[in-house]
Amino acid sequence: MAFVGALDQGTTSTRFLVVDQTGMVVASAQRPHAQHFPRPGWVEHDAVEILENTWTVIGTALATADLTAADLAAVGITNQRETLLVWDPETGQPLHRAIVWQDTRTAGIVDRLAGGDPDRFRAATGLPLATYFSGPRATWLLEHVDGLRTRGQSGGAILGTVDSWLLWNLTGGVDGGRHATDVTNASRTLLMDLTTLDWDPTLLDAMDIPAAMLPQIVPSIGRLGVGVGPLAGVPVSGILGDQQAALFGQGCHVPGQAKNTYGTGCFLLMHTGTEQVASTNGLLTTVAAQVAGMPPTYALEGSVAMAGATVQWLRDELGLIGESAEIEALARTVDDNGDVYFVPAFSGLFAPHWRSDARGALVGLTRFANRGHIARATLESTAFQTHELLGAMRADSGVDVTELRVDGGMVDNHLLMQFQADLLGVDVVRSEIVEATALGAAHAAGLAEGVWAEEADLRATWQEGGRWSPSMPVEERDRLTARWAEAVQRTFDWA
């Protein structure tokens, strides 16, 4: 039996999975890392803490399965995508905390670059100018870290998203680690041309970023290097940004198939094959994956900043629940939302609105409202945002999705999943393995090294783990979505 490892470095934790050839998880280990909020709107991570956690979870998972590195045919990497790091390649030390994808400090740079046209770079990149993407973060670092530009131009500092940091360290670090990123992560920077799959000199000039600091762009599926330490001798053979990894792990390899991941944020992707579908409805055109030697495939994506993170806020900042899992029981203490709507625009609103100035709003409160209504409104906010995304996706692609495959930590919440099916009017289908993101990284690496011969073999391993069918009357759905739209408007009014 062949085994493949998957390193899943997410926004709140790092996980390592060992998957066998049948697609089943045989071992898993996970460690959280700290979230740093030095100023309002700023979100940072400690790259050294993430790396230390990475080595720990690899060793723990292998020990749990009574395996060693020699038992792994390959390892794949998946990661939080737009989070940016800068480090010294001679010492391996970060030169600033990682700036997380939720961070909004680059709003002024984004406005300056846009000059009133947020779609200035969309034709080349498939993306609007927004604080979500990592290119302007590089500009911010170069403008605010003393001496960084000079160091970068002379080879004393390099930039990369989290996958680059991990790949560099896993393949040797200061002793010759590879500085590269795959096409899916590069497609989220506002710096890569979607057609050429290269860094675009015009975009680098616009953001004043030295090309020498950036990693090499490589295919998602293919050997990238050989591991060291706990992964000594193991081929590192796949990198996919977390949402593209989930699309791959859900077996969505065919145009028109779609998945939604309910994690810290919420991310809906539809595979569009080798065609780049330009969005006129606030979505993103992004790379889905690329096998070495093959043309890339693309996807339409809608991104929501706050999903599971909203439940964490309810737990940690408001103290309405003690554990995240308690929210479903609290929400079930009421029959409906009591006309209470919660728009969690803590980092502004992403697709399809792209309003970085929006701020969160809890609207519709009366003396009738209680803790249960707020809990229910919190859950429903994720479903409402997904409904907006799927509507935009239908308009852009002309495709009516017949079912939505779902994964991530929130899919164990039956109340949310049923409400989601009701709003969308299509079946919501959960995969047997909830952590499809890590599974996608394993699939990519295993495909590269021949553990699986072709994508059809991967689809054969996918298993359904739950299904919810819509039962809400259309009139009620229309009433609820209209009220949600009114609540969203309040977040703009406040700004």
* Burial of 178 from C-beta contacts in 10 A (0-12 / 13-18 / 19+): middle
DSSP-assigned beta bridge partners for residue 31: 14
The pLDDT value recorded for residue 495 is 54
> What pLDDT is recorded for position 457?
87
* Pairwise CA distance, residues 2 & 155, whole Å: 40
Token code pair at residue 408: 């991530």
Q: How far apart are CA 495 and CA 479, in angstroms?
A: 26
- Contact assessment for residue 16 and residue 58, using Cβ atoms and an 8 Å cutoff: yes
Residue 374: enclosing H or E segment and its boundaries? helix 371-397
pLDDT for the residue 434: 79
Q: What is the CA radius of gyration of the chain?
A: 21
- Farthest-apart Cα atoms in the chain, separation: 64
Measured distance CA(464)–CA(159) in Å, rounded: 40
* pLDDT tens, position by position, 23-49: 889 999 999 999 999 998 899 999 999
Across 182-214, b (16+ Cβ under 10 Å) vs e yields: bbbbbbbbbbbbbeebebbeebbebbebbeebb
Amino acid symbol at 43: V
Q: How far apart are CA 262 and CA 243, in angstroms?
A: 10
Q: What is the pLDDT at residue 464?
A: 87
Looking at the DSSP bridge assignments, the partners of residue 171 are: none
| 66: Cα separation from own chain's centroid | 31
For the chain, residues with pLDDT lower than 50 are none
pLDDT value, residue 305? 84
Q: How many CB atoms lie within 10 A of CB 370?
A: 13
Query: What is the predicted pLDDT for the residue at 161?
Result: 98
**Rounded Cα gap, residues 130 and 113, in angstroms:** 10
Q: Cα separation of 240 and 30, whole Å? A: 19
The string of DSSP codes covering 86-150 is EE-TTT--BSSPEEPTT--TTHHHHHHHHTT-TTTTHHHHS----TTSSHHHHHHHHHHSTTHHH
pTM: 0.88
* Helix residue ranges, H only, 452-473: 455-461
Q: What is the pLDDT of residues 51-97, one digit of tens each?
A: 999 999 999 999 999 999 999 999 999 999 999 999 999 999 999 99
- Half-sphere CA count of 352, side-chain side, radius 13 A: 20
Q: Kind of pairing, strands 427-431 and 464-468? A: antiparallel
CA distance 203 to 362: 39
At 1 the three-state DSSP class reads coil
Cβ–Cβ < 8 Å for 238, 76? yes
CATH 2.90.10.10 holds for 3-250:
no
